[in-house]
Structure 1
Amino acid sequence: MKAVLRIRTRSLPGLLLALLVIALTAFAPQATAATGVSTIAAALRESPVYVDPAAAGQLSAAEADTLARQIKDANKPLFVAVLPADYPTKDLFTDLRTATGVTGLYAVRLGDRFDARADSSVLSRTGVRNLVTSVQGEPAPTQLTDFTDRALTNLGGRAPSSWGGGTSGSGVSGTALITVGAVVVAGGAGAYALVRRGRRRHAEEQRAALDRLRVVVDEDITAFGEELDRLDFHPSEPGADDAMRGDYERALNAYDQAKQYMSDARRPEDVRAVTQALEDGRFSLAALAARREGRPLPERRPPCFFDPRHGPSVTDATWTPAGGSAREVPVCAADATRLADGRDPAVREVDTDQGRRPYWDAGPAYGPWAGGYFGGGLLPGLLIGTALGGWMSAPAYGADYGTGYGDFSSGGYQGGDLSGADFDPGDFGDFGGGGDFGGGGGDSGDFGGGF
């Protein structure tokens, strides 16, 4: 019995130590416990910026408030979360987007790492990647401010109504209706005259924009017609098969369609159909050339960014516009060589009041023209930081020049809409693989390569 008692006595310090550890664990503040995704999502439904208590040193309350006011005032669906460096990363973006249930652009900073994801209806994957790349390595306040400034310029959609404040669509409409009603009551016939003058002025501005745009489009149509004239192909020539004849017929039809669409155009946005037809026609010619030469059929790629008359692009190259950030753009073989040699690409310039300028600096009317060539979500990423990109993301642009140019407003759930779990997970992706976090907006479905 004494031996047993001796053993128990010796084990008492260990027992007390174990009890002490349990007590400290139970009653210590949960400083290292990760805030749940549901908690973060609930906060983002109330305000566009969330700073985790464990990451408060990254962004002060005053800086977060300033950032939130900027986003609300812009009425855009941008969500920013600042989390501790050791926050669990698996499926973070997908889970956060699902829990929030709101279509938009989601940016997350974890320690000194940063990345973002977006629904394709508000910003393309290329656009997200270019934005993320442009702010890598900056300290938190500068990085988040720069990212927000650039994102708001190019982001489609609107802020969720749950944020309150800022400018909401219904608030603007109500104010406009009240104002118009007061004018009608007070001015009567005078108000009606003002409305008529406004409509007439708007119609004149649209006609002027279309006239300026018509010059460029006619040049494109003429250039494509000259390509057809130079084409040494006859449907009945030896070696011609049905596939070649089909390519040739599609190219001819595209030429005729482009001329007809331009003849029928009444507004700047009508031009998009013209450049879409020309893009289709040039690809048909590229396919025909490959068949005749016995080469593999070309991949369906967008035209050369610098001048769509160069034909379908063959690769992507890094390019930095004046005053902008680097981004990848589709280029033809000749421009790829020029860039690789350190020379300037052959840029499509158009006439403006300030002289000849690249089309992306020439005015908002060129949005429909570019959208026909670079639709399907590519255009926003290409135009980030350019004058045309800024114009196209402005609220007044859709009213003047139409929407739908490169997924600036492509239908489906728009930014700020409550879509719940109804979204494309491919836009958000997982964490995984190797490499650095913050590599750029979901190139391969991963969060910049993973943490």
Structure 2
Amino acid sequence: MNAVPRTRSLTALLLAVLVLVLTTAFAPGASAQTSVSTIARALRTGPVYVDPAASAQLSRADADALADRIKKANKPLFIAVLPAGYPTAHLFADLRAATGITGLYGIRLGDRFDARADASVMTPTARQNLVNSVQGENAKAQLGDFTDRALANLGGHAPSSWHAADGSGGSGAGLIAVGAVLVAGGAGAYALVRRNRRRREEEQRAALERLRVVVDEDITAFGEELDRLDFQPGEPGADDAMRADYAHALDAYETAKQRMAEAARPEDVRPVTQALEDGRFSLATLAARRAGRPLPERRPPCFFDPRHGPSVTDATWTPPGGAPREVPVCAADAARLADGLDPAIRQVDTEQGRRPYWDAGPAYGPWAGGYFGGGILPGLLVGTLLGSMMATPSYAADYGAGYGDFSGFGGDYQGGDVSGTDFDPGDFGGGFGD
């Protein structure tokens, strides 16, 4: 008598389970979460990825139009549109590592948006200002505005894998047509590339020659300091520490001369001025030992003219039209500032006449970076012509990366380069309020 009810109950239970499984399987957004590796593979073949679970945010036509704009601009901009519930922990860093391409990455996640970039293509400040400027818009407007503003300020070039992907799925006739166009335009394109390369090389040589005059003056001044030094390694009272300081200063002088003779680009000047700064500190240490004074603290050279030697204190200084800042100064310039007088500023020749080195052009970035490394240079040069130039994404491509920590984070890769996991994780930390 009780068998039938039990059978019906079992049947009903099985039907309920089947309905639950089918409902879960075909519910919108209930499919398995797309992996970061899958997103990365898509971005290596094209600049825009829209997750199937987020297709309602951006249509296929709008995504294709956005991708075309990015490709035509030839910039390393990557955009991903993901569902609202996608995990955000380490999302930017993991995506950057999986994609392996230096660039700017923007992610629309539900109705939220954020972006991260390698500092070699866009500074953190520029990236944050860009993200803030597009908040609160719908997906199409937001991603369109973000793309337009990013392309106007983004350094580097598009990855070659995008162009390879464009031709991989075409028909035979399409490939023939593309080949014909490439053959017809190849000679002209090659000539244009060579002409641009020659022009850039000529500009670099001219910048190096202007810079060489200043660096040779620095080397000569240091050599004269060594000539005036009344120290003999065998004199009475000389000990091994003094002899080591003296030998180090001589080695620094020879190193500076050799590195300058071998310099082929403006960025090759940085190790020259690094050697001079190191040699002058050795002389200051030697002087303290001989006089019986405490050894000097390792400080940067005098900001106004590194030939003055290591600084002894910091002083407040305001450049014309700029904001006050603390700069390292030698004793003589500290006294001048305290008396209300102008410091003895290093002047160099420019097309507009003699100017302070920080207003003389971008080639002086490597020169200053060798003297003032370790991250202090941005604060010293903010608001100056040189400081403004060094803060732009394009500066590293022309004058080298890493001068005073303005740029060049994560190696020397430019936008679009395949750098794998060789990037600064700090550039891709956080995101979406994490």
For the aligned pair, the TM-score class normalised by the smaller chain equals 0.5 to 0.7
Match of 2:158 in 1: 159
What is the identity, as a one-letter code, of the residue corresponding to 1:178?
A
Match of 1:116 in 2: 116
What is the identity, as a one-letter code, of the residue corresponding to 1:139?
V
Question: What secondary structure sits across from 1:50 in the alignment?
Answer: strand
Q: Indicate how the Cα distance of structure 1 residues 410 and 53 shifts in structure 2: closer, same or farther if over 3 A, else same.
A: closer
Match of 1:441 in 2: 427
Q: State the distance in 1 between where 2:357 and 2:28 align.
A: 59
Deviation of 1:69 after TM superposition, in Å, equals: 5.1
Q: What are the residue-to-residue correspondences of 1:389-428 with 2, within 5 Å? A: 393=395, 397=398, 416-418=416-418, 423-424=421-422, 427-428=424-425
Deviation of 1:267 after TM superposition, in Å, equals: 6.5
Q: State the distance in 2 between where 1:448 and 1:313 align.
A: 41
Question: What secondary structure sits across from 2:44 in the alignment?
Answer: helix
Paired residues of 1:107 and 1:116 also in contact (CA < 8 A): yes
Q: State the distance in 2 between where 1:134 and 1:289 align.
A: 50
- What is the CA deviation profile of residues 206-237 of structure 1, one whole-angstrom value per residue up to 9, with x for unaligned ones? 67544432343245446656876898988679
Query: Identity percentage over the alignment?
Result: 59
Match of 2:388 in 1: 386
Match of 1:431 in 2: none
Q: State the distance in 2 between where 1:36 and 1:322 align.
A: 54
What is the identity, as a one-letter code, of the residue corresponding to 1:253?
D
Match of 2:276 in 1: 278
Question: What secondary structure sits across from 1:123 in the alignment?
Answer: coil
1:255 is aligned, of 231, 253, 256, to: 253
Question: What secondary structure sits across from 1:162 in the alignment?
Answer: helix
Q: State the distance in 2 between where 1:412 and 1:313 align.
A: 31
- What is the CA deviation profile of residues 26-54 of structure 1, one whole-angstrom value per residue up to 9, with x for unaligned ones? 22112686432233112211222334466
Q: State the distance in 1 between where 2:106 and 2:68 align.
A: 16
Q: State the distance in 1 between where 2:13 and 2:303 align.
A: 72
Deviation of 1:255 after TM superposition, in Å, equals: 3.1
Match of 2:214 in 1: 216
Paired residues of 1:115 and 1:447 also in contact (CA < 8 A): no
Q: Indicate how the Cα distance of structure 1 residues 269 and 86 shifts in structure 2: closer, same or farther if over 3 A, else same.
A: same
2:187 is aligned, of 145, 167, 178, to: 178
Q: State the distance in 2 between where 1:377 and 1:354 align.
A: 30
Deviation of 1:305 after TM superposition, in Å, equals: 8.1
Q: Indicate how the Cα distance of structure 1 residues 21 and 242 shifts in structure 2: closer, same or farther if over 3 A, else same.
A: farther
Q: What are the residue-to-residue correspondences of 1:366-385 with 2, within 5 Å? A: 366=364, 368-370=366-368, 372-373=370-371
Q: State the distance in 1 between where 2:127 and 2:207 align.
A: 34
What is the identity, as a one-letter code, of the residue corresponding to 2:388?
T
Q: Indicate how the Cα distance of structure 1 residues 180 and 224 shifts in structure 2: closer, same or farther if over 3 A, else same.
A: same
Q: State the distance in 2 between where 1:240 and 1:313 align.
A: 26
Paired residues of 2:120 and 2:409 also in contact (CA < 8 A): no
Q: Does residue 1:100 correspond to 2:99, yes or no?
A: yes
Paired residues of 1:287 and 1:298 also in contact (CA < 8 A): no
Q: State the distance in 1 between where 2:344 and 2:66 align.
A: 40
Question: What secondary structure sits across from 2:187 in the alignment?
Answer: helix
Paired residues of 2:105 and 2:116 also in contact (CA < 8 A): yes
Q: Over aligned residue pairs, what C-alpha RMSD do you find? A: 6.2
Paired residues of 1:123 and 1:377 also in contact (CA < 8 A): no
What is the identity, as a one-letter code, of the residue corresponding to 2:133?
E
- Number of residue equivalences: 381
Question: What secondary structure sits across from 2:88 in the alignment?
Answer: coil
Question: What secondary structure sits across from 1:275 in the alignment?
Answer: helix
Q: Indicate how the Cα distance of structure 1 residues 261 and 45 shifts in structure 2: closer, same or farther if over 3 A, else same.
A: closer
Match of 1:168 in 2: none
Q: Does residue 1:246 correspond to 2:244, yes or no?
A: yes
Question: What secondary structure sits across from 2:132 in the alignment?
Answer: coil
Q: Indicate how the Cα distance of structure 1 residues 85 and 222 shifts in structure 2: closer, same or farther if over 3 A, else same.
A: farther
TM-score by length of 2: 0.58
Q: Indicate how the Cα distance of structure 1 residues 208 and 4 shifts in structure 2: closer, same or farther if over 3 A, else same.
A: closer
- What is the CA deviation profile of residues 225-265 of structure 1, one whole-angstrom value per residue up to 9, with x for unaligned ones? 68768989886799975445434432333234435655676
Match of 1:30 in 2: 29
Q: What are the residue-to-residue correspondences of 1:33-48 with 2, within 5 Å? A: 34-48=33-47
What is the identity, as a one-letter code, of the residue corresponding to 1:116?
R
Deviation of 1:116 after TM superposition, in Å, equals: 2.0
Q: State the distance in 2 between where 1:112 and 1:209 align.
A: 45
What is the identity, as a one-letter code, of the residue corresponding to 2:250?
L
Paired residues of 1:50 and 1:82 also in contact (CA < 8 A): yes
Q: Does residue 1:138 correspond to 2:133, yes or no?
A: yes
Higher relative contact order (CA 8 A, sep 6+): 1
> 5+ unaligned residues in a row in structure 1: which ranges?
166-170, 184-194, 316-320, 336-344, 429-439
Larger Rg, first or second structure (1 or 2): 2
TM-score by length of 1: 0.56
Paired residues of 1:314 and 1:331 also in contact (CA < 8 A): no
1:362 is aligned, of 342, 350, 360, to: 360
> 5+ unaligned residues in a row in structure 2: which ranges?
136-141, 165-178, 314-318, 334-342
Question: What secondary structure sits across from 1:39 in the alignment?
Answer: helix
Q: Indicate how the Cα distance of structure 1 residues 92 and 235 shifts in structure 2: closer, same or farther if over 3 A, else same.
A: farther
Q: State the distance in 2 between where 1:176 and 1:370 align.
A: 43
Match of 1:353 in 2: 351
What is the identity, as a one-letter code, of the residue corresponding to 2:120?
L
Deviation of 1:139 after TM superposition, in Å, equals: 1.8
Q: State the distance in 1 between where 2:376 and 2:159 align.
A: 25
